[in-house]
Structure 1
Amino acid sequence: MKILRTSLLLAVFALFAITLQSCKTRKVAAKPTPPVQKEVTPVEEKVVPPAPVEKKAEPAPVEEKPDYTFTNVLFEFDSGVLKTSSFEVLDKMAKEMKKDPSAKFVLNGHSSIEGSVSHNMSLSVDRANSVKSYLINAGIPAANLTIKGYGAAQPVASNDAEEGRAKNRRVEFQVSR
């Protein structure tokens, strides 16, 4: 037991010595000070004025008119979450909307026929709100965006087949000025 205690004590001291050695801070060499420059008195020189530069008449910037022909933003079944494929369309919309800050827009949310009337109405409002949130984050003023939910009341395609129902799950854009 005495041998174990002695060897353990020696190991602790060795570890302590190694730790102290590695923790010592190194002295940092002082940075050299830059040499002081003597002021040189300038000799008087003859100043020649620069030759006049001819100004070219720049054409007035052409103001781009916004293109408000947007495609609908489509959604998955029973979802108000934006698809990643919608981001490109929404970025283009935001860019065009920024060209005329005074323009007002109505975001019309729609859904397919599946589900109850109240659920579809709520879902269409959620979809319009998703698009509105994206556009606000892209820099469009919230006061310029109004939302309306229509549920399944205004389909653009037949709800008999899945293709038609997928087209009906959308948000349309309308300029209200």
Structure 2
Amino acid sequence: MKTVNNCVLMAFIGAIALSYQSCKPKQVVLQPAAEVVERETPEERIVTETPKQQPQEAPTQRDPVAAEPPNYNFKNIQFEFDSSVLKTESYAILDQIAREIQKDPSARFIVNGHASIEGTAEYNMELSIDRANAVKLYLVNFGVRGDNLTVRGHGATKPVATNDTEAGRALNRRVEIKLVD
């Protein structure tokens, strides 16, 4: 038993000795800096100076670049049935809307939320407000000033298509953004 303990002790000491060597700080090897050699130009190459031109005056005013006026003819943002979560295809439309709105930071807009006829009037009103707020939040996160956006919910009171067909109801689940005159 004593020999086993001695063997274990020796193995432990050996492991510590090896780990000590591996943990020892390494010496930093510095290489001498490279010599900078300046080249002399051959005497055969003589450069003659050309006469200097008088500096021309820089124009004091630039002609203003015609900025493209904003296009406030926005597409409607569509939503799924019974949801205020933006559809994936709405992101590209919202990005374009945000860029146009940012062209004139003083312009004010109304974000009108709408719903289809399914559900109660109170529920549709809340859903339309939630949809309008989802659009406003997206635009504000894009960099549009929230002060310039007013949210309104209309529920199912202003349909753009018939509520008798699913295609018509899908068109009524929307948010419209209009410029305040």
TM-score range, shorter chain: 0.7 to 0.9
Letter in 1 for 2:12: V
Which of 129, 132, 139 in structure 1 is aligned with 2:133?
129
String of CA shifts for 1:12-43, please: whole Å, max 9, x gaps.
Answer: 222212211111111223576799xxxxxxxx
Q: Residues 29, 172 of structure 1: CA spacing in aligned structure 2 closer, same or farther, 3 A cutoff?
A: same
- Superposition pairs for residues 31-70 of structure 1, below 5 Å? 51-53=54-56, 55=58, 58-70=62-74
Which of 65, 76, 96 in structure 1 is aligned with 2:100?
96
CA drift of 1:145 comes to 0.3
Matched, 1:80 2:84: yes
Q: Residues 166, 58 of structure 1: CA spacing in aligned structure 2 closer, same or farther, 3 A cutoff?
A: same
Aligned residue for 2:132, secondary structure, equals helix
Return 10-19 or 121-130, whichever deviates more. Answer: 10-19
Matched, 1:119 2:123: yes
Matched, 1:174 2:141: no
Matched with 1:151 is 155
Quick one: distance in 2 between partners of 1:100 and 1:25? 62
Give the 4+ runs in structure 1 shifted more than 4 A.
30-35, 54-58
CA drift of 1:142 comes to 0.7
Matched with 2:7 is 7
Return 66-75 or 48-57, whichever deviates more. Answer: 48-57
Q: Unpaired runs of 5+ in structure 2?
A: 36-50
The number of aligned residues is 167
String of CA shifts for 1:71-111, please: whole Å, max 9, x gaps.
Answer: 00111111111122111101100111111111100000011
Return 157-166 or 137-146, whichever deviates more. Answer: 157-166
Q: Residues 4, 76 of structure 1: CA spacing in aligned structure 2 closer, same or farther, 3 A cutoff?
A: farther
Aligned residue for 1:174, secondary structure, equals strand
Quick one: distance in 2 between partners of 1:15 and 1:116? 77
Matched with 2:18 is 18
Aligned residue for 1:106, secondary structure, equals strand
Q: What TM-score do you get using the length of structure 1 for normalisation? A: 0.83
Matched with 2:40 is none
Q: Unpaired runs of 5+ in structure 1?
A: 36-47
